[in-house]
A and B are shown apart, each in its own frame.
Chain A
């Protein structure tokens, strides 16, 4: 940074970061505090709300049976769909390629709340009951573009001649892909998969419409707990989500460039 930039710039930026991180800090602090009235700063440290979390069937189901399962399934399916789409877009030239590319990133341009409403009305017309599968299908729509973005970025940094070399040495195209290209794409693939998981795991807007009574995801359960003024058990659940997501983003930052995925 230029030495002559205004003196107040850095304190200002620090204050913005403070505001950005404040809600997360408060949630984590409240989850360890003894008070049921969401006191901040807490007057002690207890694991009481984490015990309450694991003792609550509603929270355990929402976290482990719905959000985690849907997140992992969405991440794996989005990785397969997204990687193959990215390969098709980057490695081949065909009529209308740019239009297809824009279409594939379109889910990022549609407000999630409207996509949720549209899918809800679509399922209603087909008389499909809400379940983790309806939720999963919705999440795949919004997760896959992240995989496409990161794999496209990974492919851009990859020399296609490596694959050609393998083929001239006798590998078939499929062998060359699995033995050469795929291992070289590993970090962008993993990053895309991690972001797909995170997007599904923290989604609220689609889940509000698409999860049924048997498939309430963690953010939806927290939403209703806020509305019905629950106790800091939801803070404990939130802290766990914050820690998981923080760690996953650190992994992406280690192995790939964060900027190419977000």
Chain B
């Protein structure tokens, strides 16, 4: 194909989607940025004067706690995802093509089903008369209240986001030749030593990008805390939802959204660059 034609064909090809994203991604966020600089009034939709109050309020006790809880739950979720996801990623990366295909199907299928449906399943499992409490009562123990707690939220978030941890780690373990593992073991390292000295350091880019992905997804979660959490211990996503659709405090919602989007976008770009750099380094070597 002619790469330097007189007509910029690439512009015709990429133009429509670029325009689409401009109107439905950049302009809406610019709109939010503008809202966040105007004061909130319970009676008027829009006041002309400018203010930084919407950002200042984020440092109030209520919002500081809200952010603290959200960031903490995100950290716990990420840590649990590493513990559960890393072994899974290792097994998938080293499985035969047939088992790998089945493992991937069983990993991606639940990922693609709507989050509401998976939460619904967990509500049935963890509910007052759910599976867990039935089992507890069968062995003669008292039923426990699992639902509507931070534990329930973490269980739900881990269930939804663990595939995002597995996929990047798996990709980076696949790039490590199995012969390295054998060499280390033939030289006398036991499996754990080999793992710590060979696999773990070489799969670090995948691990980092998985952690950043899971962290930024879980700190912006809404459905899981809304359906499984204690209504008095909310996360930032719920606060934004309420300020937009319930209390109509749009400037407040805008400043919260913009703060959260900057944090998560920075993390996501970090993840993107971690994987890209790893890919480039491999090409170079």
CA distance in complex: A119, B26 (Å) = 10
In the bound complex, residues from chain B placing their C-beta under 8 Å from that of A5 are: 191
A2 at interface, CB cutoff 8 A: yes
| Contact call A114/B87, Cβ cutoff below 8 A | no
| Contact call B191/A120, Cβ cutoff below 8 A | no
| Contact call B108/A226, Cβ cutoff below 8 A | no
CA distance in complex: A39, B130 (Å) = 8
**Chain A proximity of B283: nearest CB distance (Å):** 14
CA distance in complex: A253, B112 (Å) = 14
Residues of B1-33 contacting chain A, CB below 8 A: 1, 3, 8-14, 16-18, 20-21, 24-25, 27-29, 31-32
A121 at interface, CB cutoff 8 A: yes
How many residues of chain A get a CB closer than 8 Å to chain B's CBs?
96
B223 at interface, CB cutoff 8 A: yes
Of the candidate stretches B48-56, B61-69, B137-145, B239-247, the one touching chain A is: B239-247
| Contact call A10/B32, Cβ cutoff below 8 A | no
| Contact call A100/B14, Cβ cutoff below 8 A | yes
Residue of A nearest to B227 (CB): A226
B217 at interface, CB cutoff 8 A: yes
**Chain A proximity of B5: nearest CB distance (Å):** 9
CA distance in complex: A226, B103 (Å) = 30
Residues of B106-133 contacting chain A, CB below 8 A: 106-125, 127, 129-131
CA distance in complex: A146, B85 (Å) = 23
**Chain B proximity of A24: nearest CB distance (Å):** 6
| Contact call B124/A258, Cβ cutoff below 8 A | no
CA distance in complex: A219, B119 (Å) = 11
B233 at interface, CB cutoff 8 A: no
- With A1-B91, A109-B269: A119-B113 Cβ-Cβ less than 8 Å: no
| Contact call B223/A85, Cβ cutoff below 8 A | no
In the bound complex, residues from chain A placing their C-beta under 8 Å from that of B217 are: 111
| Contact call B101/A24, Cβ cutoff below 8 A | no
**Chain B proximity of A219: nearest CB distance (Å):** 4
A70 at interface, CB cutoff 8 A: no
B149 at interface, CB cutoff 8 A: no
In the bound complex, residues from chain B placing their C-beta under 8 Å from that of A226 are: 116, 119-120, 123, 227
In the bound complex, residues from chain A placing their C-beta under 8 Å from that of B227 are: 223, 226-227
B136 at interface, CB cutoff 8 A: no
B88 at interface, CB cutoff 8 A: yes
Residues of B247-275 contacting chain A, CB below 8 A: 250, 253-254, 257, 260-261, 264-265, 268-269, 272
A82 at interface, CB cutoff 8 A: yes
| Contact call A259/B104, Cβ cutoff below 8 A | yes
| Contact call A121/B35, Cβ cutoff below 8 A | yes
The contact string, 1 if C-beta is below 8 Å from chain B, for chain A 83-110, is 0110111011110000010111011111
| Contact call B105/A241, Cβ cutoff below 8 A | no
Provide a sorted-by-A list of 19 A–B residue pairs whose CB atoms are within 8 angstroms: A2-B185, A4-B191, A13-B88, A23-B118, A24-B118, A24-B121, A82-B17, A87-B13, A109-B265, A113-B220, A115-B28, A122-B28, A164-B1, A202-B115, A204-B116, A208-B222, A238-B120, A241-B113, A249-B108
